[in-house]
Amino acid sequence: MAFNLKGRSLLTLLDYTQKEIQFLIQLSAQLKIDKYAGRSNRNLEGKNIALLFEKPSTRTRCAFTVAAIDEGAHPEYLGANDIQLGKKETVKDTARVLGRMFDGMQFRGSAHKTVEDLAKYAGVPVWNGLTDSYHPTQALADFLTVYEEFGRFDGISVTYAGDGRNNVANSLMIASAKLGIDYRVVTPQKLNPDKKLVDLCLTIAKNTGAKITITDDVKTGVTNTDVIYTDVWASMGEENLIAERIALLKPYQVNKAMFDMTQKSNTIFLHCLPCFHNQDTITSSQYPDICEATEEIFESDASRVFDQAENRLHTIKAVMVATLGK
Ligand code: CP
Ligand code: NVA
């Protein structure tokens, strides 16, 4: 299975078909094998890639950087204080300038409209490395990890417990709808995903056999599930909501009691990272109750979080190779 995605941007997985998403995951797996075998395909030889970051990042930045260099491209990091994006120069003008110099660009920031405008005016592929609304390259890595574990998507259930309306949850729901997954969001009603997006995913699900369940009842959401996934309770930019979110989301913490409720022995734990799971960070020492997953689960045999983090590299590489490679 091979698809021509040359010249395409990746803003949300809504823009990609089921087969195109499957192809990107398959290509990621192949590029992972190539890297382990010491093979470099130099698919991006001579390309220059701009990495625009309004928000901080460990995994996404490093994955784009290493993937670009592995394939022979030159990545250029442009942080929030390095360029004028939206401050002294419009996004539209920045896009047209960078598009004259670079062959592709990644954007991470707040407003989804910024990445849409970059893609509209740059004239080169633009990849969304996280906005307030979506985190599509994360969902690709998540489903590569699921595939590596179970060898299939058919019949797989994924439960997302926590802030059901954030970027990671939205992209997981879209990818699940496209890939035919039984996707369950376990969240307080106040944090339900946007109804329009749920309705869109339900429409997609009609054609793929996916199931989308939104519930505030933990037992309903986790019984018999193959994957329990969570993310931070307050995303970047929501720091003022931390206390409120702790109160709302404590009953949805991923812990042993939740795993026992699955009534399965091979359920895996996923998290996009970074994760609060102990008191060893500055933020968790300020907010001792901020802990979306217990240390016990994070460090358990069920945890695949570092495979998932590594898979950011292989999936981001696949996106760049497929859309920009020779
Ligand atoms: N998961 C993820 O996007 O991590 P970073 O914020 O470190 O890029
Ligand atoms: N929802 C989180 C994801 C971080 C990778 C955030 O936006 O901060």
Q: What is the pLDDT of residues 30-68, one digit of tens each?
A: 999 999 999 989 999 999 999 999 999 999 999 999 999
**Among 23, 108, 34, CA closest to 64:** 108
User: With 90 as the cut, is the pLDDT of residue 2 above it?
Assistant: no
User: What residues are annotated to the active site?
Assistant: 108, 135, 138, 231, 272, 312
User: With 90 as the cut, is the pLDDT of residue 217 above it?
Assistant: yes
Main-chain dihedrals φ then ψ at residue 60, nearest 5 degrees: -65, -45
Main-chain dihedrals φ then ψ at residue 322, nearest 5 degrees: -70, -35
CATH topology for 13-134+312-324 is: Rossmann fold (3.40.50)
Atom 2 (ligand 2) nearest CA? 235
User: With 90 as the cut, is the pLDDT of residue 326 above it?
Assistant: no
Ligand 2 atom closest to Cα of residue 236: 8
Question: Quick one: 157-225+227-263+268-301 is in which CATH superfamily?
Answer: Aspartate/ornithine carbamoyltransferase (3.40.50.1370)
Least confident range from 258-262, 278-282, 297-301: namely 278-282
Considering the chain, what is the average pLDDT of its residues?
97
User: With 90 as the cut, is the pLDDT of residue 129 above it?
Assistant: yes
Ligand 1 contact via 266 beta carbon (within 6 Å): no
With bands split at pLDDT 50, 70 and 90, how would you rate the model's confidence at 244?
very high
How many whole angstroms separate alpha carbon 67 and alpha carbon 60? Answer: 10
- Where along the chain do its domains lie? 13-134+312-324, 157-225+227-263+268-301
With bands split at pLDDT 50, 70 and 90, how would you rate the model's confidence at 95?
very high
Q: Does 13-134+312-324 match 157-225+227-263+268-301 in CATH topology?
A: yes
How many whole angstroms separate alpha carbon 217 and alpha carbon 65? Answer: 41
How many whole angstroms separate alpha carbon 141 and alpha carbon 55? Answer: 20
Ligand 1 atom closest to Cα of residue 61: 8
